[in-house]
Amino acid sequence: MLLQNGTGNASPITSSVPSSSSLLSPNASAVYGIALEYENDRKEHVAVDDDASPISIVYALPSNSLPPSHHKGIVLLLHGCTHSAFKFFSPSQNCTKCVGLSEELQISRWVLEQGYIALAVTSYDWKSGCWGDVNDTRRIRKALHEFIHTTHPELFKGNNTQPKIIAVGASSGGAMAGRLLAAGMVDAALVMVMGLPQKLLEKLLENQRDPTATMKHLYLAPMVKDKGTAKTCRSNYQFLSQHIQKHPTTKLQVMLDETSCVPLPVTTEYLWSRVPGMTKEAAQILVDTLVEAQHLDPTTKLLILDPTRSLWRDVITAKNQNIPTSLLHTENWNQKNPVPIIPSQTQLLWERFDLTPGRSPLAKAFHRAWAFHEYCSESLAPAFQVFEQRQ
């Protein structure tokens, strides 16, 4: 698949070496975006704590071969606390601050493959990375308006004047997706690992009881291991379902998915298909090392220890002295014109994989496999199947 990067098309770059162990997975290819900032005029706002800081976004368009009339709409990508819009796209000349975490890349890549515009926005509180309410709602509204009417007005003509907008977020970003749905700013919301407050649900129901309202969709995707959040999601689903049963004219469809975001085995195939730049040889070394250190179950390959707390970095950096042969043949694994965003050598594995917390695609792959409170790309397909149904 070709992804637009502002100066042309970017495609996955794989090694020409015939050995299968040195080939890179197209499922973990780079995803390039364009970083922009929109002015945020304080005069437009009421909130006194809004400092009028610029609104930071990163976006990517589907393949150039897809005519504008066939774009399905916009998918708003909403990060969790401590993160930003830069985590959804790979570093490039058009986004030098981009990081590209593995699970976020999975989401952006899937969205683009389905024919949607991927648009990530950074929260107002950039220090914590968490989302607020009034300020962030207004900033997202402004970002959407500027993107549709100023940045790419050519994409929104004719039947696309009012594009379908879907919000996708996890944790704090999931809560923000729910707020945007209740505010009528999006057509659907995929809320990962986050329960929604009662007042928000009541506001959503009130809006959707309006005879002039259009159908909205709410898809809740908790991780069962995160018992507190999963319990709240079940409560959300029961409350909304009971109301819809009593008031069948309510234009709201709610789904609860407790099967998509389960723990995943950390196999060679898993790491190869998730982590940019990974070869099968390197992935096998990592799996064997973690099994030997009793971080992985030798039979199921499921994580035994929580990777957000364990010392897995110390375990695998013991292998840092000998670079796998397959990695020596894939120097250009990330992009044609890489931007040198290199941490200190002590934070790199095999001179290739960043291990820095918050910046490590490898760590993100482990976090998803553990499946406690993390993005879950597996929920996208079933959620969008619901969202794309004609009502």
Residue 93, C-beta contacts closer than 8 angstroms, at least 6 positions apart: 7, 337, 339
- Contact assessment for residue 47 and residue 135, using Cβ atoms and an 8 Å cutoff: yes
- Residue 235 reports pLDDT greater than 60: yes
Check residue 127 and give its pLDDT: 85
Q: CA–CA separation, 342 vs 324, rounded Å? A: 20
Looking at residues 9-24, what average pLDDT do you find?
49
Residue 78, C-beta contacts closer than 8 angstroms, at least 6 positions apart: 120, 121, 131, 167, 168, 169, 170, 173, 174, 176, 177
- Residue 163 reports pLDDT greater than 80: yes
Identify the CA nearest to 163 among candidates 139, 181, 182, 147. 147
Check residue 5 and give its pLDDT: 35
Supply 89's token pair.
């796209």
Question: Structure pTM?
Answer: 0.89
Check residue 63 and give its pLDDT: 76
Please name the helix (run of DSSP H) or strand (run of DSSP E) that holds residue 139, with its range, or none: helix 134-146
Strand-strand pairing, 116-121 and 73-78 = parallel
Q: CA–CA separation, 355 vs 349, rounded Å? A: 7
Length of the chain, please? 391
Q: 246: helix, coil or strand?
A: helix
- Residue 337 reports pLDDT greater than 90: no
Q: CA–CA separation, 245 vs 49, rounded Å? A: 41
Could you give phi then psi for residue 121, rounded to 5 degrees? -125, 140
Of the pLDDT bands very low, low, confident and very high (cuts 50, 70, 90), residue 134 is: confident
Instruction: Report how far apart the first and last C-alpha atoms of the chain are (Å, whole number).
Output: 31
In whole angstroms, how far apart are CA 270 and each of 21, 235, 261? 14, 33, 15
Looking at residues 185-206, what average pLDDT do you find?
97
Looking at residues 65-71, what average pLDDT do you find?
65
Residue with tokens 């110390």: 314
Provide, rounded to the nearest whole percent, the portion of the chain with pLDDT above 90. 74
The chain-wide mean pLDDT, for the chain, equals 88
- Contact assessment for residue 54 and residue 40, using Cβ atoms and an 8 Å cutoff: yes
- Residue 254 reports pLDDT greater than 70: yes
Give the other-Cβ count within 10 Å of 286's Cβ.
25
Identify the CA nearest to 98 among candidates 42, 154, 34. 34
Q: Strands (DSSP E) along 108-243, which ranges?
A: 116-121, 165-170, 188-192, 216-221
Check residue 48 and give its pLDDT: 47
Of the pLDDT bands very low, low, confident and very high (cuts 50, 70, 90), residue 85 is: very high
Check residue 22 and give its pLDDT: 72
- Residue 189 reports pLDDT greater than 80: yes
Q: CA–CA separation, 60 vs 39, rounded Å? A: 20
Q: Strands (DSSP E) along the chain, which ranges?
A: 3-4, 9-10, 34-38, 55-60, 73-78, 116-121, 165-170, 188-192, 216-221, 252-256, 348-349, 353-354
Residue with tokens 């908790």: 222
Q: At what angle are helices 380-387 and 102-113 packed, to 10 degrees?
A: 30
Residue 92, C-beta contacts closer than 8 angstroms, at least 6 positions apart: 5, 10, 30, 32, 33, 98, 335, 337, 339
Check residue 76 and give its pLDDT: 98
Check residue 214 and give its pLDDT: 94
CATH classification of 31-260+377-387, choosing from 3.50.50.60, 3.40.50.1820, 3.40.50.10860, 3.30.950.10?
3.40.50.1820
Looking at residues 285-306, what average pLDDT do you find?
98
- Residue 248 reports pLDDT greater than 60: yes
Check residue 241 and give its pLDDT: 97
- Residue 88 reports pLDDT greater than 80: yes
Supply 63's token pair.
């393949």
Q: What single-letter amino acid sits at 189? A: A
Give the other-Cβ count within 10 Å of 264's Cβ.
18
Looking at residues 139-152, what average pLDDT do you find?
95
Check residue 243 and give its pLDDT: 96
Supply 279's token pair.
């070869």
Q: CA–CA separation, 117 vs 242, rounded Å? A: 34
Domain boundaries, the chain: 31-260+377-387, 268-370
Select the more confidently predicted residue: 124 or 67.
124
Identify the CA nearest to 73 among candidates 190, 162, 185, 182. 162
- Residue 4 reports pLDDT greater than 50: no
